């Protein structure tokens, strides 16, 4: 069993921690040892979140106990304390997964931390990496929608990107462009950003488009080949956007269409699961050699 701890979050009833608890408590290979936060007030987890009644006797604590943990999930980089860093430096069997608000780390300020997009960085995650940061949801959605095109040097100078909600997109776009340029070094393109209407619940939708003369059938093959040996990204048929309830799913659904020479890519994820906590658990599974879908089916 993997001995796991959770530390951090901005509020007492933080939805990121709640969903992470939901995933880890049902994970067949996890022994959840501690849940702590500098904002904690020593309250039973099942009292804070009655949905977990009968599932755990853990208490949300203020003091983090790092003894004998195999992996710690840190929510928000401000909670990556010197004590945690020292544990990471001195214990070669200790792993870190960072999620939530991590702008400095995502900007590449810490080279010991792998960029945790398994669909691109799976090999480093299974071959000795001990720390990883989950991408921001908006960046992840752009990356998954464009990664197969980048791998085949198809990205042009200009790409239109429309993402649901009113979240500012400049920072996640810069994050996505760094990765896309790593994949396709010639990529210098401009992401033309705009916000679309809010999606339901924690769903995040994107519509991306760019000019290409490549036939839709060939583009479809490229995308299916790119994700053929991955477990959470699927190209689905249809037109006009994706109508599906993705609550709690760690999947990304992608739909491809063309209007003349313009390729239109629709993509969607559950922002709280695939875009955050589910991806973090996916990273943990890779660290410890588990099948990618362990604890994350459906």
Nearest to 177 by CA among 187, 169, 167, 186: 187
> What pLDDT tens digit does each residue of the chain (298 aa) get?
999 999 998 777 899 999 999 999 999 999 999 999 987 778 999 999 999 999 999 999 998 999 989 999 999 999 999 999 999 999 999 999 999 999 989 987 667 899 999 999 999 999 999 999 999 999 999 999 999 999 999 999 999 999 998 888 999 999 999 999 999 999 987 899 999 888 777 899 999 999 999 999 999 999 999 999 999 999 999 887 888 889 999 999 999 999 999 999 999 999 999 999 999 999 999 999 999 999 998 7
> Could you tell me if 39 and 9 are in contact, meaning their C-beta atoms sit under 8 angstroms apart?
yes
Measured in residues, the chain has a length of: 298
Start-to-end Cα distance in the chain: 22
- Give the phi and the psi of residue 93 in degrees, each rounded to 5: -100, 0
Architecture of domain 137-270: 2-Layer Sandwich (3.30)
pLDDT of residue 166: 86
Distance CA 72, CA 79 (A): 11
pLDDT of residue 7: 97
CATH dotted code for 2-135+274-287: 3.40.50.720
Q: pTM for the whole thing? A: 0.96
Residue whose structure tokens are 């695939």: 274
Positions of CATH 3.30.360.10 in the chain: 137-270
pLDDT of residue 109: 66
Positions of CATH 3.40.50.720 in the chain: 2-135+274-287
Q: Do the bridges between strand 252-259 and strand 262-270 make them parallel or antiparallel, or are there none, so unpaired?
A: antiparallel
- CB-based contacts of 77-81 (< 8 A; 24+ apart in sequence): 77/101, 77/102, 77/103, 77/104, 77/105, 78/8, 79/7, 79/8, 79/9, 79/37, 79/38, 80/105
């Amino acid at each position: 069993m993997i001995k796991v701890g959770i530390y951090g979050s901005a509020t007492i009833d933080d939805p990121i921690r709640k969903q992470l608890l939901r995933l880890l408590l049902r994970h067949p290979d996890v022994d959840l040892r501690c849940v702590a936060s500098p904002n904690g007030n020593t309250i039973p987890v099942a009292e804070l979140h009655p949905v977990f009644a009968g599932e755990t006797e853990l208490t949300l604590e203020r003091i983090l106990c790092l003894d004998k943990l195999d992996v710690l999930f840190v929510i928000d980089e401000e909670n990556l304390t010197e004590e945690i860093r020292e544990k990471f430096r001195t214990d070669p069997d200790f792993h870190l997964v960072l999620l939530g608000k991590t702008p400095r780390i995502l900007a590449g300020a810490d080279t010991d931390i792998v960029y945790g997009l398994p669909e691109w960085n799976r090999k480093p995650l299974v071959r000795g990496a001990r720390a990883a940061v989950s991408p921001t949801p908006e960046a992840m959605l752009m990356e998954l929608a464009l990664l197969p095109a980048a791998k085949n040097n198809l990205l042009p100078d200009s790409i239109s990107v429309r993402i649901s909600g009113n979240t500012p997109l400049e920072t996640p776009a810069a994050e996505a462009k760094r990765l896309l340029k790593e994949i396709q070094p010639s990529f210098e393109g401009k992401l033309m950003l705009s916000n679309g209407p809010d999606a339901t619940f924690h769903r995040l939708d994107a519509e991306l488009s760019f000019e290409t003369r490549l036939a839709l059938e060939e583009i479809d093959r490229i995308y299916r080949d790119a994700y053929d040996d991955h477990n959470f990204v699927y190209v689905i048929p249809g037109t006009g956007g994706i109508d599906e309830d993705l609550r709690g799913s760690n999947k990304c659904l992608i739909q491809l269409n063309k209007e003349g020479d313009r390729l239109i890519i629709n993509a969607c994820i559950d922002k709280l699961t695939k875009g955050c906590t589910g991806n973090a658990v996916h990273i943990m599974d890779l660290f410890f050699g588990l099948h990618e879908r362990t604890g994350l089916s459906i």
